[in-house]
């Protein structure tokens, strides 16, 4: 299943009081494995950068002054996420900011029905523990040494690893497939795999053990399923 791990950086904590998006990072995953397809953009917020926010992500107003407006990247952003589920840590924060930007442009909001909130997942799995992204990375042994400051794309990449662990680890399913012994190899120069053992394994039961088992089966009466098996075995040996 295709999902999008998403993170944002902003000028503050409240879009209703004039705070704006300054960075959006998205990582595409398929069956919880990153595909290598990402979306990343810095955004000109058209306002100053409070020192508290700068200390978190290190993005200055001067750095962002020549970056595109959200209106100039919204179509690419919406095309990238499509209708895939959105995996977000503390989703109400990021969705609130994205929807505020969409509202300014008269675009429909993103709905919470498509959101997977990893903070809620972590709280269910680790009740009473601190479940910040840093704490979860430490708990699952995920290397966060690159994370000297918050960054939307880097945090999305790290969250993708955390999400895989929260959802049960990288090996999400074990499938057993029957392979035809006569199937031809699709790789030129390779012999097809033969699944039939060329020399049967030697029996591990002694003749005395085999005789004792046969004697026991005879005590079970004619309806015992082992009698049918013994008849089949004798027929096979005769052939």
Q: In this predicted model, what pLDDT tens digit does every residue of 168-186 receive, in sequence order?
A: 875 544 444 443 433 344 4
Catalytic residue among 40, 89, 126, 150: 150
Rounded to 5 degrees, φ, ψ at 235 are: -65, -40
In a domain, 59, yes or no: yes
Q: Looking at residues 228-237, what average pLDDT do you find?
A: 52
Residues 162 and 223 occupy one common structural domain: no
The last residue of a domain, from among 116, 149, 166 = 166
By mean pLDDT, which of 11-20, 91-100, 179-188 is the weakest?
179-188
Residues 141 and 222 occupy one common structural domain: no
pLDDT score of 210: 81
Report how far residue 150's alpha carbon sits from residue 224's, in angstroms, rounded to the nearest whole number: 70
The last residue of a domain, from among 105, 139, 166 = 166
Q: In 3D, which of 91, 78, 56, 69 has the Cα closest to residue 22?
A: 69
In a domain, 194, yes or no: no
Asked whether residue 89 is marked as a ligand-binding residue, the answer is: no
Per-residue pLDDT tens digits for 113-124: 999 999 999 999
| Whether the predicted pLDDT of 142 surpasses 50 | yes
Asked whether residue 9 is marked as a ligand-binding residue, the answer is: yes
Report how far residue 149's alpha carbon sits from residue 54's, in angstroms, rounded to the nearest whole number: 10
Q: Determine what percent of the chain is predicted with pLDDT higher than 90.
A: 67
Residues 70 and 139 occupy one common structural domain: yes
Residues 61 and 117 occupy one common structural domain: yes
Q: Is 213 a catalytic residue?
A: no
Asked whether residue 126 is marked as a ligand-binding residue, the answer is: no
Residues 37 and 155 occupy one common structural domain: yes
Q: Looking at residues 100-112, what average pLDDT do you find?
A: 98
Q: Please state the domain count of the chain.
A: 2
Asked whether residue 14 is marked as a ligand-binding residue, the answer is: no
By mean pLDDT, which of 43-57, 102-116, 137-151, 160-174 is the weakest?
160-174
In a domain, 217, yes or no: yes
Asked whether residue 161 is marked as a ligand-binding residue, the answer is: no
| Tokens, residue 203 | 């029996």
Buried b (16+ CB within 10 A) or exposed e, 17-40: eebbbbbbbbbbbeebebeeebbe
Q: What is the CATH number of the domain that holds 108?
A: 3.30.420.10
Q: Are strands 21-30 and 33-42 parallel, antiparallel or unpaired?
A: antiparallel
Residues 138 and 217 occupy one common structural domain: no
Q: What is the CA radius of gyration of the chain?
A: 30
Residues 53 and 149 occupy one common structural domain: yes
Locate all alpha helices (DSSP H) within the chain, ordered by sequence.
51-57, 61-64, 70-81, 91-104, 118-125, 133-139, 152-166, 207-218, 225-238
The per-residue pLDDT of the chain, averaged, comes to 85
In a domain, 42, yes or no: yes
Q: Determine the structural domain holding residue 215 and report its residue range.
A: 207-238
In a domain, 177, yes or no: no
Q: What is the pTM of this model?
A: 0.71
Q: In 3D, which of 152, 164, 133 has the Cα closest to residue 39?
A: 152
pLDDT score of 170: 59
Residues 119 and 218 occupy one common structural domain: no
Q: In 3D, which of 76, 59, 56, 57 has the Cα closest to residue 67?
A: 59
């Amino acid at each position: 299943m295709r999902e999008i791990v998403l993170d944002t950086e902003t000028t503050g904590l409240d879009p209703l009081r004039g705070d704006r998006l300054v960075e959006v990072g998205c990582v595409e995953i398929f069956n919880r494995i990153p595909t290598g397809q990402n979306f990343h953009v810095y955004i000109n917020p058209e306002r100053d950068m409070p020192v508290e926010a700068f200390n978190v992500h290190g993005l200055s107003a001067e750095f962002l002054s020549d970056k595109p407006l959200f209106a100039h990247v919204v179509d690419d952003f919406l095309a990238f996420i499509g209708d895939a589920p959105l995996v977000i840590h503390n989703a109400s924060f990021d969705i609130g900011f994205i929807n505020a930007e969409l509202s300014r442009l008269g675009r429909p909001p993103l709905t919470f029905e498509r959101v997977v909130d990893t903070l809620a997942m972590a709280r269910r799995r680790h009740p009473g523990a601190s479940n910040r992204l840093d704490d979860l990375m430490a708990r699952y042994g995920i290397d966060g040494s690159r994370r000297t400051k918050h960054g939307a794309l880097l945090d999305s990449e790290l969250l993708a690893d955390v999400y895989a662990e929260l959802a049960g680890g990288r090996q999400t399913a074990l499938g057993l497939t029957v392979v035809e012994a006569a199937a031809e190899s699709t790789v030129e120069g390779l012999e097809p795999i033969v699944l039939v053992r060329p020399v049967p394994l030697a029996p591990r039961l002694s003749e005395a053990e085999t005789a004792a088992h046969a004697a026991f089966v005879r005590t079970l009466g004619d309806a015992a399923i082992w009698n049918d098996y013994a008849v089949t075995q004798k027929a096979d040996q005769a052939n």
